[in-house]
Amino acid sequence: MSTTQISPTTSGDAPVVYEVTQLTPNERFARWARELGWRHLVGLLMIPIVLLPILFALSMSLKGPTASLNGVGDQRMFTAFDLSTYEMLFTETVFPRWALNSLIICGITAIGTVLMGSAAAYAFSRFRFAGRRGGLTALLIVQMFPQMLAFVAIFLLVRSLGEVYPFLGENNHVALIAIYLGGALGSNAFLMYGFFNTVPRELDEAAKIDGASHAQIFWTIILRLVLPILTVVGLLSFVGTYGDFIIAKVLMTQENNYTIAVGLYQWATRPLVTPWAQFAAGAVIAAIPVIILFMFLQKYIVSGLTAGSVKG
């Protein structure tokens, strides 16, 4: 340990003394292990846990259309390399239709969720009106109850609406999108509200002085500044609806209208012969859009989730 003394300043203040401690290599390693090393250890332990299901599905999809899980040898990974399952997936099954249905439904739902959530968050952040605090509390409470708890009521409502408006009935993607958007405000608007509060109000006031309306401020100024949270909400909405099964299964009963989640479930639950190779290949293909989205939007994810906690 060494001590360095700095001479007093001209104002007569007491001298400032700094103690500089020289750590040994063992002490530096112990400090690194205590502060950061355990995180690397946890990450290394989680890698095989996360990769094992993915590798198993990929291996099963490469064993050919006749692959099964009945024998002990059939569970060994990467014992064959046959791409015919993927070719058959796109030429002899309705999987491409399922994938298109999922992309359309999830894309429209994500865009609608972003627009609805951002409009609600802007109103709660910038306007002062009666019931504002109660509305925020209601949004926070609503998100505690997932839509799947009300799937029976949703089914009865859709059946009744379908008798009057066929496009809102069963086996209609418009009805499914409307249901997804009906539960879109909840946590999304509350999450956006915290981010909108980080945008200085002086920008709004300067725009109003120049004659801008609230709509112009919202579309041309605010939305550009809150792009990270819009990206995060859109991504979460896409992933959530992409993997939804309960509501889609209740409303979609015709095979051509299935989403990927419902279609793969139908394959995995066939009573006599289960096409495990097709199921695995479909699962691998279904994961690609989500992976691509995360890769291209990862720079917005951390900033979008953390910046809203700065100013509530």
pTM exceeds 0.85: no
Instruction: Say how far residue 183 (Cα) sits from the centre of its chain.
Output: 15
DSSP annotation of 311 reads: -
Encode pLDDT of 88-100 as tens digits.
888 888 999 999 9
Q: Which residue has the tokens 């006749």?
A: 66
- Which of residues 24 and 172 earns the better pLDDT score? 172
Encode pLDDT of 35-68 as tens digits.
888 888 888 899 888 888 888 888 888 887 777 7
Over the Cα atoms of the chain, what is R_g? 27
Q: How far apart are CA 120 and CA 289, in angstroms?
A: 28
- CA end-to-end distance (rounded Å), the chain: 45
Return the pLDDT at 288: 92
Encode pLDDT of 195-241 as tens digits.
888 888 888 889 898 888 888 989 988 888 888 889 889 998 999 89
The residue ranges of every structural domain in the chain are 2-9+17-75, 93-309
Q: How far apart are CA 306 and CA 270, in angstroms?
A: 44
CATH superfamily placement of domain 93-309: MetI-like (1.10.3720.10)
Encode pLDDT of 186-195 as tens digits.
767 888 888 8
Residues with Cβ within 8 Å of residue 218, at least 6 apart in sequence? 118, 119, 122
Of 192, 172, 283, the C-alpha closest to 236 is 192
